[in-house]
């Protein structure tokens, strides 16, 4: 900050600086060192983390409701910036009348939009649902492809959406990095990264193969219900002793 002198004080004799003190340094302040980044747990501890998740929930399930690969794909597209609960509420009626690309096209964009109007960004999502339905018919005979590149070529489908479909419906050991998983992976930390792709690739390197299929579900559910954004509930976390996050939170 620059302090401007007043006219009356311009010729005043400056006060002497206290001996032993450097100019420009505020007394009593000590520069804080940035916290050192936490290193991921060693491989045996990472194995133990997932062994505990497996013991508690051997077959974790996603929370989106669907009846086939197509409705799963649509549900995941609709879930962007929306809750699973809100998506399920909107898609129950939609999927009851349109569970194939052909039926969705027959409904038309206006009707689809009306079904999903309680979901955020519903107008653009309705356009994407109609467009991806048409492309599934034109390119894949109305079937959802079990191929990442083909899925990502569909409107509204990014890497995370493709990974969810490949994992849940086709049983491929993919990692779908949402906000919960991104937070948990950096907080423990399992595979710290600045982007979802960095976290995904890091997790694929460190998660033991026998736990890879269900790993992203365990981490997402853990982040959603235990390792929450504002205040992780460390006092009831089954991996608190293996987690590097500090300070551990307490109830209340």
Domains and CATH numbers, the chain: 69-168 (1.10.340.30)
How confident is the prediction for the chain on average, in pLDDT? Answer: 88
Report the percentage of the chain scoring pLDDT > 90: 83
**pLDDT at residue 35 greater than cutoff 60:** no
**pLDDT at residue 10 greater than cutoff 70:** no
pTM over 0.75: yes
Instruction: Give the model's pLDDT for residue 36.
Output: 53
For 220-241, the three-class secondary structure string (H helix, E strand, C coil) is HHHHHHCCCCCCCCHHHCCCCC
Task: Name the catalytic one among 21, 160, 231, 248.
Answer: 160
Going by pLDDT thresholds of 50, 70 and 90, the confidence category of residue 32 is very low
Report the percentage of the chain scoring pLDDT > 70: 85
Going by pLDDT thresholds of 50, 70 and 90, the confidence category of residue 128 is very high
Concerning whether 55 is annotated as a catalytic residue, the answer is no
CB distance 219 to 199 below 8 Å? no
Task: Name the catalytic one among 55, 57, 178, 231.
Answer: 178
Going by pLDDT thresholds of 50, 70 and 90, the confidence category of residue 39 is confident
Distances (CA, A) of 79 to 59, 72, 121, 141, 164: 22, 10, 10, 25, 11
Distance between CA 137 and CA 144 in Å, rounded? 9
Peptide bond into 117 cis (omega under 30): no
CB distance 119 to 78 below 8 Å? yes
Instruction: Give the model's pLDDT for residue 193.
Output: 96
Task: Render pLDDT for 175-214 as a digit per residue (tens, 0 to 9).
Answer: 999 999 999 999 999 999 999 999 999 999 999 999 999 9
Instruction: Give the model's pLDDT for residue 37.
Output: 63
CB distance 89 to 118 below 8 Å? yes
Concerning whether 160 is annotated as a catalytic residue, the answer is yes
**pLDDT at residue 223 greater than cutoff 60:** yes
- CA angle, 131 then 113 then 164, to 5°: 60
Distance between CA 238 and CA 252 in Å, rounded? 19
Residue that is written with structure tokens 């990502």 in the block? 152
Distance between CA 30 and CA 23 in Å, rounded? 15
Nearest to residue 193, comparing CAs of 208, 207, 177?
177
Instruction: Give the model's pLDDT for residue 4.
Output: 41
Nearest to residue 134, comparing CAs of 160, 154, 113, 159?
154
Instruction: Give the model's pLDDT for residue 252.
Output: 78
Nearest to residue 197, comparing CAs of 212, 175, 219, 173?
175
A 10 A CB-CB count for 236 gives: 10
Distances (CA, A) of 54 to 6, 149, 168: 72, 30, 17
Task: Render pLDDT for 71-123 as a digit per residue (tens, 0 to 9).
Answer: 999 999 999 989 999 999 999 999 999 999 999 999 999 999 999 999 999 99
Distance between CA 68 and CA 229 in Å, rounded? 32
Sign of the Cα pseudo-torsion (104, 86, 88, 199, in order): positive
């Amino acid at each position: 900050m620059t302090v401007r002198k007043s006219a009356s004080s311009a010729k005043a004799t400056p006060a002497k600086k206290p001996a032993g003190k450097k100019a420009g340094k505020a007394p009593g302040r000590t520069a804080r060192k940035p916290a050192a980044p936490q290193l991921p747990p060693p491989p045996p501890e990472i194995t133990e983390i997932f062994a505990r998740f497996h013991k508690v929930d051997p077959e974790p399930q996603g929370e989106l409701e669907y009846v086939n690969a197509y409705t799963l794909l649509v549900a995941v597209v609709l879930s962007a910036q929306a809750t699973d609960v809100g998506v399920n509420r909107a898609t129950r009626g939609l999927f009851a009348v349109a569970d194939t690309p052909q039926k969705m096209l027959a409904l038309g964009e206006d009707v689809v939009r009306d079904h999903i109007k309680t979901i955020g960004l519903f107008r653009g999502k309705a356009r994407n649902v109609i467009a991806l339905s048409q492309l599934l018919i034109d390119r894949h005979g109305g079937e959802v492809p079990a191929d990442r590149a083909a899925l990502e070529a569909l409107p509204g489908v990014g890497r995370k959406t493709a990974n969810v479909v490949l994992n849940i419906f086709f049983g491929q050991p993919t990692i779908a990095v949402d906000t919960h998983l991104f937070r948990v992976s950096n907080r423990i930390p399992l595979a710290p990264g600045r982007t979802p792709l960095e976290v995904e690739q890091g997790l694929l390197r460190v998660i033991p193969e026998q736990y890879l299929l269900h790993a992203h579900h365990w981490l997402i559910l853990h982040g959603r219900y235990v390792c929450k954004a504002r205040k992780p509930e460390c006092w009831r976390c089954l991996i608190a002793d293996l987690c590097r996050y500090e300070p551990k939170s307490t109830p209340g």
